[in-house]
């Protein structure tokens, strides 16, 4: 017999028993029974039958417990440090300090035996103290080349001002390379800005301009403006070509000019300078090739009527 038929038979049997509902012992008072509905009785009977015949009942499915979220760690705010601003340390200016501006007779210039020349340096006062005429350029080391022990400044120089210091020198009487070093010295004797060098090559027959002179002189013209004619004389040590230009006290500078020598000797160049007013005037001559050297200043006075 199939399972469904067994269940049906059991259900019918249960209904029959319920419908009889008669007392087992007549004449005795029966306790009042709690009335159970037919549907409840049928369900009870069916459940008992199923259990009796070993039909497994589907167990209750376990309730799935949702995973518990891990507690969120509180976010601790962190302070953002501002970028450190660069600090510029002010560089203190010393009382006495200098800066190189320019020079004449650059290192490696050729000279004849015992040839005289002038080396000049232009310096800028980059300190906080004014240089007075007790400041000096002093010989420090190396070959002194016949120069003095010291040359005083010819003018006071305020901070950020410039000054040119010239030293008369003489090449040695033997061939070779010679160098000397010069330094600035303050009024109190302290030395600063050292290492200003003179470095020359001495040979027996080096082509050079050994001398420059002019015929400029004081003059009282009959009237002004006055055309002041003058001559510059160049003396060379050998055959060769020189280049030069002329600067004057008004700040004017001529074009670069040249002279060619076919042997050692002297050549002249003529110039005219129109003077409008009375005053003290000067010119300087720069021999670019081969000397790289200033000559002068050549000073003169003009007195207009």
Do 186 and 238 share a domain, yes or no? no
Question: In whole angstroms, what is the distance from residue 247 CA to residue 282 CA?
Answer: 9
The CATH number given to whatever domain includes residue 217 is 2.60.40.1930
- Contact between 275 and 281 (Cβ < 8 Å): yes
**What's the confidence (pLDDT) of residue 31?**
47
Boundary of a domain, candidates 202, 229, 260: 202
Question: In whole angstroms, what is the distance from residue 277 CA to residue 296 CA?
Answer: 22
Give the domain extent around 261.
209-302
**What's the confidence (pLDDT) of residue 107?**
93
Question: In whole angstroms, what is the distance from residue 203 CA to residue 176 CA?
Answer: 7
| pTM (predicted TM-score) | 0.49
Phi, psi of 13 (to 5 degrees): -65, -40
The CATH number given to whatever domain includes residue 194 is 2.60.40.10
In a domain, 36, yes or no: no
Cβ count within 10 A of residue 127: 20
Overall number of domains in the chain: 2
In a domain, 291, yes or no: yes
Which parts of the chain register pLDDT below 50? 22-33, 41-42, 45-46, 49-50, 52-60, 62, 79-83, 88
Angle 3-20/38-52 helices, nearest 10 degrees? 140
Give tens-digit pLDDT for 31-68: 444 555 555 544 554 455 445 444 444 444 545 555 55
Question: In whole angstroms, what is the distance from residue 255 CA to residue 103 CA?
Answer: 21
- Contact between 133 and 177 (Cβ < 8 Å): no
């Amino acid at each position: 017999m199939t399972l469904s038929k067994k269940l049906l038979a059991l259900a019918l049997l249960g209904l029959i028993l319920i419908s009889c509902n008669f007392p087992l012992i007549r004449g005795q008072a029966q306790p009042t029974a709690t009335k159970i509905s037919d549907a409840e009785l049928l369900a009870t009977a069916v459940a008992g039958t199923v259990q009796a015949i070993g039909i497994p009942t589907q167990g209750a499915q376990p309730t799935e417990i949702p995973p518990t979220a891990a507690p969120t760690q509180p976010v601790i705010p962190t302070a953002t440090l501002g970028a450190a601003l660069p600090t510029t340390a002010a560089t203190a200016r010393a009382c006495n300090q200098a800066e190189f501006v320019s020079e004449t007779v650059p290192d490696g210039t050729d000279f004849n035996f015992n040839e005289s020349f002038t080396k000049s340096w232009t310096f800028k006062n980059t300190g906080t103290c004014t240089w007075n005429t007790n400041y000096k350029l002093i010989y420090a080391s190396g070959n002194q080349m016949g120069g003095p022990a010291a040359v005083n400044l010819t003018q006071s120089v305020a901070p950020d001002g410039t000054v040119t210091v010239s030293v008369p020198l003489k090449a040695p009487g033997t061939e070779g390379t010679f160098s000397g070093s010069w330094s600035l010295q303050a009024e109190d004797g302290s030395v600063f800005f050292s290492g200003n060098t003179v470095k020359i090559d001495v040979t027996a027959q080096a082509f050079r301009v050994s001398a420059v002179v002019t015929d400029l002189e004081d003059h009282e013209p009959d009237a002004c403006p006055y055309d002041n004619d003058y001559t510059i004389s160049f003396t060379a040590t050998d055959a060769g070509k020189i280049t030069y230009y002329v600067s004057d006290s008004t700040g004017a500078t001529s074009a670069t000019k040249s002279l060619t020598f076919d042997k050692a000797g002297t050549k002249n160049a003529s110039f005219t300078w129109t003077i409008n007013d009375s005053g003290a005037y000067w010119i300087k001559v720069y021999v670019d090739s081969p000397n790289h050297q200033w000559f002068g200043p050549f000073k003169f006075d003009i007195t207009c009527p």
